[in-house]
């Protein structure tokens, strides 16, 4: 019995010893460190900044690379500021002869941007900065499997040549930069350079030779000295600076380009796609697609500080006070970020609730458990989440989803009063508030125009309300009644949905790629909205390629579409309705899928597009919005809202739709996290003890009988 008691005590001791770590997905030595724990569900295959246009990859790239400008973390609407520059670039305007002009001149032929870099910005330590590593033999590579296997690493200062080199890489067609066709229409000489360098690269590859881009130059990209370069554009294009904030324009050291051209590294899948080299706050320490990805604070990172706001800026903004506590402190605060592979949503959600992940999105399955929605559509945390100290953050995305009318269609298109009233009537009965409630768990707001919140030109309140769809009643927007819609429909020539001309019921066609079970519910809802007016809606499902072809050729009558901001400027939304961008007019190349073409709107757009944000620009935008609200080429649809959850120990969370370079401003209270993990994950030891104890107790009588028998045998002898 003494031996049995000892065994039970051992079991109890062992389980209590490991209780606080046995269900943790992180190693015990990291849980108390200043580390952010997150996840990924697909491998990061394309981390080359000139190629990647993926939001999920940008989260990694943006913390490693640094374009010349970036967005202020706290300011809304979004504001650009120097990132690696000493100041915002100088812009001069030139005529065809190169003579400098006033920016308001009508003779501007070129815009010249001059960028002055900060001195002594260093790259992360990397083997490419050791000269002997640029031309290694096959034998040298025999023991190299990762970058960590290189014995020697070094760094160097960021220079203007690196930014010029990046644009040269963008020009190479084989690099598949998704913005090349846009940018080469603006940068002087980029189009011809692209044709030349693409041919050179093809020839070099056929001969298995490296290509060193230092030997080639773009007419409109000039390196003036180590810290200064200029880019010359055709005409005026103020939105260019927004493009310059994107990773496509991040600097690439020539050494890295030549280093990764070595065939042995390419064979081992060690390239810029998998192993980036930058000057940012973090470097990629590990990229294991089957397990985890790690970012570690760059030891060479310069002195960068948490943003400060003036008293006036604080007074005029809605920035929460807790976000101002770190003003002026050196960043980054977090020393390491660990992204663990999580293929399934439920395990990810459970680990978040256990405190092993610091933040989480909200899946449809978890929505009801996480969020309470009031009778008026306001969202808050569920009691369970609030008790855990979990915080909810929501932000309206700079994007829009809309239902488009093909303005070339003989029934729903055109600019007559009857055509406008038909579209206005349909717009009224498309109850976006109901759609957001049923299909989006309240994660969206009804749109009043193409311009989302946080973008210059978006107007709140009564002034920003679409008067053709809504009334303003007691300080709130109220969708016009079905009676108003029916009256408009009758005035359009379709009383109760029947044509005055031929006495036939109005039948409209809606093209879509929707095909799943959830999509069927959406399509049924859409039919019911049209049925309120007596209009029969025919759903025509097809594959994406066929759908896109019909839209581009103007063969679709009604269809849903959407747009995400490339940059936070009203031009990036209003150009969706600019006549010269019509899909049919441009043989499918234009973004104006509705083929809307109003000369008054077009004239105002031409005037507005190159203006800087100002009261004058805002007045022009308001006129443009009034025009399109009346013409109703779209049912304005909705602006989606992003919701996320984070634990109380994860601080300085402030959603920023235009920048992924925000990790350096965030904090982790590792001590509090560790305490909560232990509190929430107390082991249930009893089942384990019983698992071992019950078989032992059952075996004990047999053991005693066996001992008794053995003693009897001995006694007989």
Sort 498 into a burial class: Cβ within 10 Å, 0-12 / 13-18 / 19+: middle
Question: Residue 392: exposed, middle, or buried by beta-carbon count in 10 A (0-12, 13-18, 19+)?
Answer: middle
pLDDT at position 686 is: 59
Look up residue 603 and give its two tokens: 């004239």
Place of tokens 């458990």: 369
Taking each continuous run of H as one helix and of E as one strand, the counts in the chain are 22, 27
Cα(622)–Cα(638) distance, rounded to whole angstroms? Answer: 19
What is the share, in percent, of the chain residues with pLDDT greater than 70? 92
Give the mean pLDDT per block of 10 residues along the chain (717 residues).
53 49 70 92 92 91 98 92 98 96 91 97 98 92 92 97 98 95 96 97 94 97 98 96 97 98 94 97 96 97 97 89 96 97 91 96 88 78 94 93 97 97 98 94 94 93 97 96 98 96 95 84 96 97 92 96 93 97 93 97 96 94 98 97 95 94 97 94 67 68 69 62
pLDDT digits (tens, 9 = 90+) for 124-174: 999 999 999 999 998 889 889 999 999 999 999 999 999 999 999 999 999
Q: Which two tokens stand for residue 133?
A: 């590593």
Contact 218, 110 (CB under 8 A): no
For residues 559 and 404, the answer to whether their CB atoms sit within 8 Å is yes
Q: Give the number of other Cβ atoms within 10 Å of residue 459's Cβ.
A: 16
pLDDT at residue 2, rounded to an integer: 52
CATH class (in words) of the domain with range 43-287+295-300? alpha beta
Q: Quick one: angle between helices 2-18 and 685-716, nearest 10?
A: 160
Contact 468, 654 (CB under 8 A): no
Residue 494, both tokens: 């379709």
Q: Is the peptide bond before 137 cis (omega within 30 degrees of 0)?
A: no
Instruction: Look at residue 87 and give its three-state secondary structure.
Output: coil
Could you tell me the two tokens for 419?
């055509």
424's tokens: 């206005």
Taking CA 59 as the corner, what is the angle to CA 590 and CA 660, rounded to the nearest 5 degrees? 75
Enter the tokens of residue 47.
């981390």
Predicted TM-score (pTM) of this structure: 0.86
Tell me, what's the pLDDT at 19?
A: 46
C-alpha distances in Å from residue 136, one per residue of 142, 266, 308: 10, 13, 48
**Other Cβ atoms within 10 Å of 110 Cβ, number:** 18
| pLDDT, tens digit (0-9, with 9 covering 90-100), for 488-530 | 999 999 999 999 999 999 999 999 997 777 789 999 999 999 9
pLDDT of residue 379: 83
Average pLDDT, the chain: 92
Residues 6 or more apart whose CB falls under 8 angstroms from that of 661 comprise 62, 63, 66, 70, 71, 280
Q: What is the largest CA-CA distance in the chain?
A: 124
What's the token pair of residue 341?
Answer: 């592979």
Architecture of domain 399-642: Roll (3.10)
**Would you state the pLDDT for residue 690?**
63
Tokens 């008026």 -> residue: 376
Distance of alpha carbon 667 from alpha carbon 281, whole angstroms? 14
Task: Name, in order, each residue with C-beta under 8 angstroms of 11's C-beta and a sequence gap of 6 or more.
Answer: 688, 689, 692, 693
Structural domain boundaries in the chain: 2-19+683-716, 43-287+295-300, 399-642
């Amino acid at each position: 019995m003494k031996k049995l008691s000892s065994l039970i005590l051992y079991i109890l001791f062992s389980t209590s010893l490991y209780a606080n770590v046995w269900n943790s997905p992180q190693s015990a030595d990291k849980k108390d460190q200043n580390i952010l724990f997150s996840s990924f569900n697909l491998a990061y295959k394309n981390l080359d900044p000139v190629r990647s246009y993926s939001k999920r990859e940008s989260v990694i790239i943006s913390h490693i690379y640094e374009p010349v400008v970036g967005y202020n973390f706290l300011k809304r609407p979004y504001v650009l500021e120097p990132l690696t520059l000493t100041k915002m670039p100088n812009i001069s305007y030139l005529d065809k002869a190169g003579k400098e002009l006033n920016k308001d001149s009508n003779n501007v032929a070129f815009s010249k941007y001059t960028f002055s870099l900060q001195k002594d910005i260093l790259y992360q330590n990397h083997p490419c900065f050791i000269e002997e590593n640029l031309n290694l033999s096959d034998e040298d590579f025999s023991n190299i499997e990762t970058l960590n296997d290189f014995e020697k690493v070094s760094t160097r200062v960021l220079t203007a040549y690196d930014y010029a080199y990046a644009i040269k890489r963008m020009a190479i067609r084989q690099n598949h930069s998704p913005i090349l066709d846009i940018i080469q229409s603006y940068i002087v000489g980029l189009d011809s350079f692209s044709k030349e360098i693409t041919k050179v690269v093809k020839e070099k590859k056929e001969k298995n030779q490296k290509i060193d881009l230092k030997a080639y130059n773009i007419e409109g990209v000039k390196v003036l000295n180590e810290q200064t370069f200029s880019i010359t554009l055709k005409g005026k294009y103020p939105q260019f600076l927004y493009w310059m904030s994107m990773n496509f324009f991040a600097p690439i050291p020539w050494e890295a380009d030549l280093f990764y051209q070595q065939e042995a590294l390419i064979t081992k899948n060690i390239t810029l796609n998998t192993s980036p080299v930058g000057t940012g706050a973090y470097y990629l320490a590990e990229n294991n697609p089957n397990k985890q990805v790690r970012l570690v604070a760059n030891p060479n990172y310069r002195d960068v500080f948490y943003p400060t706001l003036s008293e006036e800026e604080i007074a005029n903004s809605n920035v929460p006070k807790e976000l101002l506590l770190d003003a002026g402190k050196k960043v980054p605060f977090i020393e390491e970020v660990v992204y663990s592979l999580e293929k399934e949503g439920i395990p990810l959600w459970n680990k978040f609730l256990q405190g092993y992940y610091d933040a989480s999105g909200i899946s449809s399955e978890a929505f009801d458990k996480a969020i309470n929605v009031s009778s008026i559509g306001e969202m808050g945390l569920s009691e369970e989440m609030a008790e855990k100290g979990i915080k909810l953050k929501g932000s309206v995305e700079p994007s829009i989803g809309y239902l488009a009318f093909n303005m070339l269609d003989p029934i729903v298109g055109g600019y007559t009063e009857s055509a406008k009233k038909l579209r206005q009537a349909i717009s009224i009965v498309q109850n976006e508030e109901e759609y957001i409630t049923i299909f989006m768990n309240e994660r969206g707001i009804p749109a009043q125009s193409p311009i989302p919140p946080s973008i210059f030109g978006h107007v709140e309140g009564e002034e920003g309300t679409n008067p053709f769809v809504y009334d303003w009643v007691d300080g709130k927007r109220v969708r016009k009644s079905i009676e108003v819609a029916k009256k408009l429909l009758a005035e359009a020539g379709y009383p109760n949905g029947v044509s005055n001309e031929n006495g036939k019921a109005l039948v409209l066609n809606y093209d879509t790629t929707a095909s799943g079970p959830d999509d069927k519910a959406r399509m049924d809802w859409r039919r019911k909205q049209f049925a309120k007016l007596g209009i029969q809606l025919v759903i025509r499902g097809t594959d994406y390629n066929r759908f896109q072809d019909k839209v581009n050729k103007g063969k679709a009558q009604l269809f849903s579409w959407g747009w995400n901001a490339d940059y936070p400027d009203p031009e990036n939304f209003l150009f969706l309705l600019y006549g010269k961008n019509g899909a049919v007019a441009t043989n499918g190349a234009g973004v104006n899928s509705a083929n809307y073409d109003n000369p008054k709107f077009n004239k105002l757009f031409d005037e507005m597009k190159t203006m800087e944000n100002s009261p004058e620009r805002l007045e022009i935008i308001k006129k443009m919005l009034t025009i399109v609200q009346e013409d109703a080429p779209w049912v304005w649809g909705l602006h989606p809202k992003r919701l996320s959850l984070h634990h109380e120990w994860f601080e300085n969370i402030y959603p920023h739709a235009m920048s992924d370079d925000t990790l350096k401003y965030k904090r982790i209270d590792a001590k509090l996290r560790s305490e909560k993990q232990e509190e929430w994950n107390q082991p249930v030891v009893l089942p384990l003890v019983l698992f071992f104890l019950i078989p032992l107790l059952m075996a004990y009588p047999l053991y005693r009988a066996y001992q008794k028998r053995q003693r009897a045998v001995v006694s007989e002898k």
